[in-house]
Amino acid sequence: MNTRLHARRPRAPRLAALLALLFTLPVAGPLYAADTPIVLWPDGAPGSEDWDQVEVETTDFLPQRVVRNVVQPTLQPYLADADGNTGVAVIVAPGGGFQFLSMETEGTQVAQWLRERGVNAFLLKYRLDETAANPTLFKLQIYWMMFKAWLSGDDDYPEITPSPAQPLATADAMAAVALVRSRADEWRVRRDAVGLIGFSAGSFASLGAVLEGRGDSRPDFAALIYGPGNPATIPDDAPPLYIVATADDPLFPAGMSEDLHQRWQDAGHSSTLTIYPDGGHGFGMPDKGASSDGWIEAFYDWLLATATP
């Protein structure tokens, strides 16, 4: 096994960046109309049948709508108009450290942008770790999560502790892919053009679906936005990846994305990597005056080249 050694840099700037991230996320724009969310597991989500936490939707934590304590995962369609419909389907998995979901800047805004350009989007609300019902205690949990991220590993390759909800979120992502394929004719979607785009924790779930999906639950492509992955094995039939990172990400250094990209290519599969000089972590859709602002246009160009005949 190859081991990389990296000099440890002072952590104080990284901690400051993590804390600043909580207060600098942009205010989200308006919500958009979409079809009614569809329950992914009508008979109960396997693995969480005994969960009794209450789902909470709030804006008292960040200047945008977030959802936490998700027990019943859903998929909300944003179907493209018949005119200009590419037949491509993209399932959008927001991030939030498996503690919450950034439903606007990494969810509804992404889905609407894609729909307006002929891509059928589907917003995935996947299962999360349980968090405190009390808003103040919830905030303390998030600060503790950030502090642990600061303590773990080094600035180049931090240790990432798997979330208990991660395998369940992966199962939800695979179920979402299978659901879209099962209704492909109804939704005017090509069965061979169903993929995922995941942000931060959502990219873990998306990559998990790539690695574990079989048959109808296997995505045809995946985009991983500021979220690393280091799979033990890469499937022989692995689909194309589109990976986005920033050089100043305080959570997931760009070197982790570079490693995944190289491993994917070394295994003989297609991978496209874009590293922006700045943009930090969690930039989502709103412009920040950073080089990462044009990420979705670049992704869209790749998507059309990859998923359309």
Confidence (pLDDT) at 8: 31
Bridge pairing between strands 38-39 and 74-78 = antiparallel
pTM: 0.87
Confidence (pLDDT) at 18: 45
- We find that the CATH architecture of domain 12-307 is 3-Layer(aba) Sandwich (3.40)
Taking the C-alpha atoms of residue 204 and residue 57, their distance in angstroms, rounded to an integer, is: 22
Rg of the chain over CA atoms, in angstroms? 18
Structural domain boundaries in the chain = 12-307
Confidence (pLDDT) at 59: 78
Token pair listed for 130: 């349980």
DSSP states of the chain as a string? ------PPPPSHHHHHHHHHHHHHPPPP------PPPEES-TT--TT-TT--PPPEEESSSSSS-EEES--S-EEEEEPPPSTT----EEEEE--STTT-EETIIIIIHHHHHHHTTT-EEEEEE-------SSHHHHHHHHHHHHHHHHHSS-SSS---PPPTTHHHHHHHHHHHHHHHHHTHHHHT--TT-EEEEEETHHHHHHHHHHHH--GGGS-S-EEEES-----S---TTPPPEEEEEETT-SSS-HHHHHHHHHHHHHTT--EEEEEESS--S---SS--SSGGGGHHHHHHHHHHHHH--
Taking the C-alpha atoms of residue 270 and residue 265, their distance in angstroms, rounded to an integer, is: 6
Q: What is the pLDDT along the chain (309 residues), one digit of tens a residue?
A: 232 222 233 344 444 444 444 444 444 433 344 689 999 999 999 999 999 999 999 876 667 889 999 999 999 999 999 999 999 999 999 999 899 999 999 999 999 999 999 999 999 999 999 998 888 888 888 777 777 766 654 555 555 566 899 999 999 999 999 999 999 999 999 999 999 999 999 999 999 999 999 999 999 999 999 987 778 899 999 999 999 999 999 888 899 999 999 999 999 999 999 999 999 998 999 898 999 999 999 999 999 999 987
Report the Cα 290 to chain-centroid distance in Å.
Answer: 20
Confidence (pLDDT) at 27: 42
Confidence (pLDDT) at 269: 97
